[in-house]
Chain A
Amino acid sequence: MTATSSAEIPKRTAANELIRTHATAAFSQVAAAGAVIVLFVALSLSSSVFLTSQNLFNLGVQTSITAVLAVGMTFVIITAGIDLSVGAAAGVAGVLGAKLIASAGLPAALGILGGVGVGGVIGLANGVLVAYSGLNPFIVTLGMMSVCQGVVFLVTNALPVPLPNSFSWLGAGSVGGFPVPVLFVLGVAIAGHLLLTRSKPGRFFYALGSNPEAARLSGISARRYLPLVYVISGLLAGFAGMLATSQTVSGQPTFGVGIELNAIAAAVIGGASLFGGEGTIFGSLIGALLIGLVQNGAVLLNINSYWQSVILGALIWIAVLFDRVRRRRLAAVG
């Protein structure tokens, strides 16, 4: 170990990070998965309709939007960033995608791609600003949220963009009794997981988030790789917007307000650390499912809607406290 070449250092750092990340994130995921199971059993016992295939189908449909956003948010949070604009971006993408179909007469598939592309452009703008302007991600995406909320009213005059009923397939359709949006969530999640764990950029995202200085010294360019996570988050926000447009068979200018918080909560509950360097797609899906279960269960049991926000807030606290305890233990072990 006397003559360590400069090429070896990054490898060792990256390898250590990898092991540490996997061990700690796994711990959070087990806890979140445990909470999902407890809630699942509790709802099965307290509501006679919870386990019906119809309700499980609905649960899948209703969780899909949060899940798609949470996958994108995981990428951003891993780099120690945040994307507050995903809700508003989903709103803009949802109405512009709808307009492509309703006004420009494009086929549904192209309209969906258009909506996803709108999200991608918004994400690219976020990413370039974060990587090159020196502004922090919180400010950049807060500004973008406001821009998108304005644009959505400018292009729609606050009126919904109606679509034919057949367009509900993407967001609420069924393939062999399985909700179509859930199939898309699984596809997005598998792609995201492979990108994060098996690809070079994926590993770089973890490195940029856990120790930007070490990443820089290792030759990982933040300017080159950071915009990518915001593009991914934006593309998925665009897709989430099209899921919502499909579910309501209309582009709704008011859609998306506040849902970025659900996406952030899902990622954090699933073990992503807001300090960066930690988080997994699987964990964020579990987090999204937990939020979906709270929302579904609350209506089945007719719990006042105010309590839903209270419960969600408490879940975030518990997840973050959990994260702190875990870090202390890890620090104590060395």
Chain B
Amino acid sequence: VKTIVTGPTGVDIPGQINMLRDQITKQVNGLDFAAQDAQALEPIAAQAQSQHIKVANFDSGISPQGNVRLFATDNVRWAKNVADRMANSLRPTGGEVALIHFNPGSQTDNQRAQGFKQGLSAHQSLKLVAEQNGNAQVQTGLSVVTNILSAHPDLKAIFASDETSTVGAATAVQRAGKVGKVLVFGWDAAPDDLKALQQGLVNSLVVQNPFKMGYDSLNAVVHEVRTGQAVPGEDTGATIVTRANVNTPAVKNVLQPRCATFTG
């Protein structure tokens, strides 16, 4: 198997489309990509399939997904899980909670917000009082959470739905002297997120499995090219990392993945 790895630097949807077109022109056997925009990349997948190229998506899919296999975190499911755990932590009183977006309009952001709100609807004790955008920048996340803490002195918990807002929210809560009074539920595990978790500023992190996304999706494409049999897509899952389990071998495998973990 010869693997060509390519991609645009940063968010560049036309750039990604052009790169995929070039690969189709070169008549590769399979394509495995993370769609920067669900709608815009759909025709490319269709074009590739019409030329008998096997296609899979990792991390983010196309819309409609059709018969292209997707290997990604089920964002709705895991954001719903955040709401459930939040309700558990705030039992029995419940209280006011906030949601921090990071890239409104993107499918991933939408799905996490949607899942979180679905989860909240099952818990009458939790009330969503603030919803703001951290713009995928720590500094903006820090500012908006600081202002939310001023506006809602009784706030009990924050769902920070990406790695930057997680750091921003943790820093804001710490500066406001509200560690323990306001729980931060974060997403992803950048080094600063883990540091905040270890310092007790963050209640928990939803840690995705990017390694598994790439590994399983590429394997699926290769398998389909070789045997002609499609491998079904999957929720690559997430691990809830807390201060209590962050140093366990199971969690370490997720945080520092190695091929050996997958091949056995």
Contact = CB atoms under 8 A, between A and B. Distances in A.
Contact of A160 (B131, B147, B190): B190
A306 B101 CA distance: 12
Contact of B137 (A47, A254, A296): A254
* B9, B132, B148, B150 interface centre (most CB from chain A within 10 Å): B150
Interface stretch (B138-146, B227-235, B238-246, B253-261): B138-146
A242 to B, nearest CB: 12
B92 interface: no
B85 interface: no
A257 B192 CA distance: 20
A162 B150 contact: no
A299 B138 contact: no
Interface string A108-127: 00000000000000000000
A246 B198 CA distance: 21
B144 A160 contact: no
B138 A248 contact: yes
B63 interface: no
A55 B150 CA distance: 6
Interface bracket on B: 20 to 34
Contact of B175 (A172, A254, A300): A172
Contacts, number: 83
Interface in A106-152: 149-150
- What is the interface residue range for chain A against chain B? 20 to 34
Interface of B: 9-10, 101, 104, 129-133, 136-139, 142-144, 146-148, 150-151, 153, 164, 167-168, 171, 175-176, 190-192, 195
Nearest to B147: A299
Contacts of A160: 138, 190-192
Contacts of A302: 129-132, 151
B195 A300 contact: no
Nearest to A159: B191
A250 B137 contact: no
A306 B104 contact: yes
B131 A252 contact: no
Task: Kindly name the residue among A150, A247, A296, A299 whose own CB sees the greatest number of chain B CB atoms within 10 A.
Answer: A299
8 contacts: A149-B10, A150-B9, A160-B190, A248-B139, A250-B167, A299-B147, A300-B151, A302-B131
Contact of A299 (B132, B168, B191): B132
A254 B164 CA distance: 10
Nearest to A250: B192
**Which of B131, B146, B190 is packed against the most chain A CB atoms within 10 Å?**
B146
B151 A305 contact: no
Given A49-B151, A58-B150, A252 B139 contact: yes
Interface string A48-92: 010010110010001001000000000000000000000000000
B151 A162 contact: no
A322 interface: no
